[in-house]
Amino acid sequence: MRVVVCGAGIGGLSLAHALSRHVEVVVVERDVTAADTGGYRISIDDEACRALGRLLPGALLDEVRSLSDTGSAFEQFTIADSRLRPIVVAPEPAGQDRILAQRQLLRVLLARDITATIRFGSTVRAVSQDQYGAAVTLTDGSVIEGDLVVAADGADSAVVASILGRSPTRDLGLTGIAGWTPLSDASPPGYLRRGPALAFGPDGTGVFLSLHHPPATPTADPLIAGLLGEPALIWGTITRSSRLTPTRDAAAEALVHQATTLLDRWSPWLRERVSHSDASRTAAFRFRAVDPAGPIAGWTPGVVTALGDAIHAMPPTGGRGASTAICDAADLARAVDDHLQGAPLDQVLARYQRRIVPRARSAVRDSLGPVRVINALRHRPARLLARPVLNAAGALGAWRYRDAR
Ligand SMILES: Cc1cc2nc3c(=O)[nH]c(=O)nc-3n(C[C@H](O)[C@H](O)[C@H](O)COP(=O)(O)OP(=O)(O)OC[C@H]3O[C@@H](n4cnc5c(N)ncnc54)[C@H](O)[C@@H]3O)c2cc1C
């Protein structure tokens, strides 16, 4: 059996590790190297840590853990105002496993020592299928055939669009700029030492903040040592796309400048840190999401299925996208195992596509909650009430999706 995985992101690479124990796996990725990705940090939750335990070789997972922060760096989540004064501090449940991984590093580790073939610098244009298998056409015109094709190509997936005839996600009208600032000379607000924070400004701009602590154990690999870097503030602004000059293909220095301008009336400490960011680690991305009340993975599977953001994109505001993609990968690996034991492929894929829906809907709903607050704050009456609105939203746990437009 040959499986073609479109996309060497978090979900695609996790799946490729598990499948390549039993079948031939080809991963197709448009980036030129595994390190070509945003430098922000992703939080992998308890369920996804268990899923990684099933997907990855034990030594690789141990290495990921040893180079990442763990639960002790995420004891609480703080909602703050634009002066970085805490409004609500929500403790995280105790006893949960957690990996806080630097995204570039995680991807480099997942792509290293993998048995699957990874074809970097290859962009998928379309996928077709018939009763004999599927064919992936790349933008250079070449075709890769497989018995199963998995769309793991993230939000705005070309593969899913080619089987549905449309994108399952919509642009939420918000753009994030994420960056990284070395923190050697400046002490951050105390609550950041106990976990990340999301700060809201009265103009509807939001900023994610978290601290990066490189591990105490030195590493001999210069690429990994370079990615781990020094203690840093990881920040990410969220604002309406219409407030920014186009960010697509913008130079990293221009993104830092735009982010700094957005924070004109924010905490001077934060503005100063953002203005001194490492431009090489700054990236912009548009927020996309599926409608959590609409169909998710609703197509009848033949030999093409999908995982992660490709089917249920969500904004990063819930910190759930990578964890959900990893859990999907574990469920899909189990479905392929069942097929290898004799169950028909279309049946195991249909079961897989039904199984992942409740988890995806709940993650998308949670992730859209802060987007709703940001959108509410752009209206003048809500701006005047910004602090009481935020207090109420945080205290009532009101990160519930109703209408993210
Ligand atoms: C700033 C930020 C912070 C985040 N924080 C968190 C967090 O704390 N916790 C969390 O769980 N999630 C977080 N996320 C979300 C998380 O990164 C994504 O949800 C997750 O990576 C989705 O995994 P995936 O495998 O589905 O897609 P991705 O990891 O996005 O991978 C998709 C891959 O497909 C490739 N690709 C795309 N199109 C093509 C094509 N046509 N041909 C070939 N290759 C293609 C892309 O280059 C990419 O490598 C964050 C996201 C952002 C932007």
- pLDDT tens figures, 296-332: 988 888 899 999 999 999 999 888 999 999 999 999 9
CB 309 within 8 A of CB 154: yes
pLDDT at residue 401, as a whole number: 33
Which protein residue has the closest C-alpha to ligand 1 atom 37? Answer: 153
Two structure tokens written together for 189: 């607000």
Residue 77 has pLDDT above 70, yes or no: yes
Confidence of residue 8 (pLDDT cuts 50, 70, 90): very high
User: Shortest CA distance to 213 belongs to which of 35, 68, 97?
Assistant: 68
29 in contact with ligand 1, CB cutoff 6 A: yes
Tell me, using a 6 A CB cutoff, whether residue 39 lines ligand 1. Answer: no
Higher pLDDT: 216 or 380? It is: 216
Indicate whether 400 pLDDT > 50: no
Proportion of the chain above pLDDT 90, given as a percent: 65
For residue 398, what pLDDT band results from cuts at 50, 70 and 90? very low
Query: Which residue shows structure tokens 């070395």?
Result: 182
**Alpha-carbon gap, residue 264 to 258, rounded angstroms:** 10
Q: Mean pLDDT lowest for which of 88-92, 181-185, 281-285?
A: 181-185
Which atom of ligand 1 lies nearest, measured to the CA of 320?
A: 11
Class of domain 2-70+101-170+290-366: alpha beta
For residue 252, the 8-state DSSP code is H
Report the separation in Å between the CA atom of 202 and the middle of ligand 1, taken as the mean of its atom positions. 29
Q: Is residue 383 very low, low, confident or very high in pLDDT (cuts 50, 70, 90)? A: low
Task: Please report, for the chain, how many H helices and E strands are present, in that order.
Answer: 14, 18
81 has which bridge partners?
Answer: 200
Q: According to the model, what pLDDT value does residue 405 have?
A: 28
Q: Which atom of ligand 1 is nearest to the CA of 48?
A: 11
Could you tell me the two tokens for 82? 């634009």
* 159 touches 127 (CB < 8 A): yes
Average pLDDT estimate for 79-86 = 93
The residue whose C-alpha atom lies closest to atom 52 belonging to ligand 1 is 316
Between the alpha carbon of residue 141 and those of residues 27, 136, 137, 158, the distances in Å are 17, 10, 6, 15
Rounded to an integer, the average pLDDT of 149-156 is 95
Residue 241: name the closest of 315, 308, 154 by CA.
315
pLDDT of residue 396: 46
**For residues 69 and 275, what is the distance between their CA atoms, to the nearest angstrom?**
26
CA nearest ligand 1 atom 50, residue: 316
287 Cβ inside 6 Å of ligand 1: no
C-beta of residue 149 within 8 angstroms of C-beta of residue 127: yes
- How many Å apart are CA 200 and CA 270, to the nearest integer? 13
Q: Is the pLDDT of residue 64 over 90?
A: yes
Residue 192 DSSP one-character state: G
Atom of ligand 1 nearest to the CA of 12: 25
Q: Calculate Rg over the CA atoms of the chain.
A: 21
Residue that is written with structure tokens 């995985």 in the block: 5
Ligand 1 centre and the CA of 382: distance in Å? 32
Helix 386-395 and helix 357-376: axis angle, to 10°?
160
- Give the closest residue (by CA) to ligand 1 atom 21: 322
* Residue 44 phi, psi (nearest 5): -105, 120
Is 74 close to ligand 1, i.e. is its CB under 6 Å away? no
Domain map of the chain by residue range?
2-70+101-170+290-366, 172-288+368-395
Q: Encoding tokens for residue 10?
A: 């978090």
Say whether pLDDT at 108 is over 90.
yes
Q: Find out whether the beta carbon of 178 lies less than 6 Å from any atom of ligand 1.
A: yes
pTM of the model: 0.91
DSSP string, 237-281: EEEEGGGSS--TT--HHHHHHHHHHHTTTS-HHHHHHHHT--GGG
Select the more confidently predicted residue: 73 or 288: 288
- Indicate the length of the chain as a whole number: 405
Distance CA 100, CA 277 (A): 21
Q: What's the CA-to-centroid distance between 381 and ligand 1, angstroms?
A: 36
Separation of CA 321 and ligand 1 centre (Å): 8
Q: Using CA atoms, how far apart are residues 356 and 309, in angstroms rounded to an integer?
A: 12
* pLDDT above 50 for 404: no
Q: What is the C-alpha to C-alpha distance for residues 171 and 246, in angstroms, rounded to an integer?
A: 15
Q: Do the two domains 2-70+101-170+290-366 and 172-288+368-395 of this chain adopt the same fold?
A: yes
Residue minimizing CA distance to atom 51 of ligand 1 = 316
pLDDT digits (tens, 9 = 90+) for 160-180: 999 899 888 999 999 999 999
Give the DSSP per-residue string, 351-391.
HHHHHTHHHHHHHHHHHHHHHHHHHHTTSHHHHHTHHHHHH
**C-beta 315 within 6 A of ligand 1:** no
Q: Which residue has the tokens 């004109």?
A: 264
Cα 158 to ligand 1 centre (Å): 14
Ligand 1 in reach of 31 Cβ (< 6 A) = yes
Fold category of 172-288+368-395 in CATH: FAD/NAD(P)-binding domain (3.50.50)
pLDDT surpasses 60 at 189: yes
Q: Tell me: the pLDDT tens digits for 338-368?
A: 999 999 999 999 999 999 999 999 999 999 9
- What pLDDT band is residue 387 in, cutting at 50, 70 and 90? low
pLDDT tens-digit readout, 241-280: 998 887 777 788 999 999 999 999 999 999 999 999 988 8
Q: For residue 368, give both structure tokens.
A: 């859209």
Higher local confidence (pLDDT), 299 or 146: 146
Residue 176 in contact with ligand 1 by CB distance below 6 A: yes
What pLDDT is recorded for position 389? 56
Q: What is the pLDDT of residue 399?
A: 45
pLDDT score of 111 more than 80: yes
